[in-house]
Chain A
């Protein structure tokens, strides 16, 4: 197992040409936690070709290790019988797979057109500022999360909430920290289709102003 604490994928740092490329990890010397092994093996069994389990395997490894660390990649590669480089190539392609250590609470703020027209950029800045000193949070912009009806919105540990204003930010972070349901009144799960009241009352008069600033 590689003890390196951090490894950047892609072009940022070239590989060491002196070293041979890593082979498929040896099951005899690679320790893989049993639940992770079972999850990945179950995923491989679902497909005609085991390679299809690459994303499910990386999701599972990331859930265990917090990010797609060299150790996470190596364990997944060992179970899948592929090289670490193969999984690295996959992990570096997808936005939800992290290639560096991140906080355990993910806050994806949608900053695409519909959300930014309603003040998403200011919201992202407010959340980023409020969580700046807390290493537990991974705050980033993400596009487009497919919830333009509750714009501006965020996905907090996978839970969609919106429409959000700067006033919601302290509660949002506090709920995530303490493991409570995040802003229960603003969760997408409870919103009826085309709610006649949705956003109509709280369309902020200053939204246009916020939309203009970047």
Chain B
């Protein structure tokens, strides 16, 4: 991979410190950006076609341009609450190359005309927060942060804010509530954060990887960056590969390469003797794809066309030794726990999906329950303030659609096991759970 932008020299010892970062060209892009007007920097971002790396895939340049002009309290917030199951790319960037993120934030703040910025990092990332804290102190001392950065008229304060463990805080408006010191409940949109975000001020929110790409775009120019990847998915992407693969880890790839190359050539494929049953292309919120979809190019639009999404760029591979009902239950239990409870379809839908899957597993379900469960998913999608409920409904719906036969066989087998036990169990006692026998 000669085209590494974000992972260039990533394992070089001391890259997290300012001297090493500077020695390999760090903060040169910031100097270049400060010599340009905010409009010129923004034009490069727009020309790059860079799409948000956090999940939604919205064009970053466009997002910046939505912020109102003029002097007012505007904010930039870096979403470092990486908590989509299967995703661990931002962790690597913050731990090993924190100055890259800081440089990206300063440049983006210059383009957006904001003077206050925040990094919201998930509370579990202790080491990464320490690395960032140390890098922030170095950057402040060197004049890359603070008043009149490097003698320009651009000033920026940057505060590192640690969360305390809540998946929902990765959702941008819940993150803002959490950053304001409240429970992390999503807000009704519109108004969008670009108009009314943190402390009611216009706010630009971007993911760690998105902001870490900004220095490279500034250095090489938006047009040249856009030559990487494919037309509607430009550039490189960090992909976290995990699950049933031989070499789990983070890989930087050019968008548009066949998914098979990531899963087999880079991550080594499933352990020998096993075949891929299904895979999540973009975290556990993405509808599952099967072995038939391995040749789909790994980019935003191709994955959408295949019925799934690139999401946060996290591939989770599941091999054929795993029952689909177990997988569905894991997914549903996670979203049930993490639902903030504000919207009824999500709160109740995640809860009932778990209950129905448990019934399937212990032999109390009939094939009709599959249709009910599928309809519950349909009723969640699009009916809540945020997409947490959808994030369960989409993968569960796709599992029912693609593995219906296995669900039905599971129901039948569990019933066959449970019924004799039910008949012989003393009154009032629960029959043994099916998974004890499986």
Contacts and interface: CB of A to CB of B under 8 A. Distances in A.
Contacts of A56: 161-162
Contacts of A95: 164-166
B154 interface: no
B247 A199 contact: yes
A56 B159 CA distance: 12
Given A144-B334, A148-B88, A159-B126, A117 B322 contact: yes
Nearest to A114: B242
A93 B166 contact: yes
A114 B85 contact: yes
Contacts of B152: none
Nearest to B164: A94
B321 interface: yes
Interface in A47-62: 47-56, 58-59
B74 to A, nearest CB: 12
> Which one of A56, A97, A145, A146 has the highest number of Cβ atoms from chain B below 10 Å of its Cβ?
A146
Contacts of A144: 83-87, 167, 284, 334
Contacts of B183: 89-90, 93
B175 to A, nearest CB: 12
A151 B337 contact: no
B124 A54 contact: no
A34 interface: no
B92 interface: yes
Interface in B224-281: 240, 242-244, 246-251, 266, 268, 271, 274, 280
A212 B326 contact: yes
A112 B19 CA distance: 38
Contacts of B83: 144, 146
Contact of A55 (B116, B181, B247, B284): B181
Contact of B247 (A50, A58, A200, A213): A200
Contacts of A132: none
Nearest to A117: B243
Contacts of B95: 189
A51 B125 CA distance: 23
A158 to B, nearest CB: 4
A72 B438 CA distance: 47
Given A117-B318, A146-B125, A149-B242, A96 B247 contact: no
Interface string B97-139: 0000000000000000000100000111111000000000000
A94 B166 contact: yes
B376 interface: no
A66 interface: no
Interface string B149-186: 00000000001011111110000000000111111100
A203 B274 CA distance: 13
Contacts of B327: 113
B7 interface: yes
A57 B163 CA distance: 11
A45 to B, nearest CB: 10
Interface in A12-45: none
Interface stretch (A168-176, A177-185, A190-198): A190-198
B99 to A, nearest CB: 17
Contact of A194 (B122, B124, B162, B249): B249
B96 interface: yes
A188 B164 contact: no
B246 A200 contact: yes
Interface string A196-214: 1011100101001001111
Contact of B127 (A59, A188, A198, A199): A188
B330 A198 contact: no
A152 to B, nearest CB: 11
Contact of B162 (A51, A59, A108): A59
Given A149-B248, A199-B246, A51 B91 contact: no
Interface in A123-166: 142-151, 155, 158-160
Nearest to A94: B164
Nearest to A163: B248
A148 B240 contact: yes
A198 B249 contact: yes
A188 B181 CA distance: 30
Among B87, B163, B181, residue most surrounded by chain A Cβ atoms (within 10 Å):
B181
Interface string B317-330: 01101110011011
A116 interface: yes
Contacts of A145: 124
B250 A194 contact: yes
Nearest to A143: B334
B384 interface: no
Contact of A212 (B162, B165, B248, B323): B323
5 closest A-B pairs by CB:
A148-B242, A95-B165, A54-B181, A194-B249, A94-B164
11 contacts: A51-B181, A52-B179, A55-B181, A59-B164, A148-B87, A148-B248, A189-B95, A194-B247, A194-B250, A208-B244, A208-B322
Given A112-B284, A112-B334, A149-B242, 17 more contacts: A48-B199, A56-B161, A59-B123, A96-B124, A97-B165, A108-B124, A112-B86, A114-B242, A117-B316, A117-B318, A148-B87, A151-B242, A159-B126, A189-B95, A199-B246, A200-B247, A213-B435
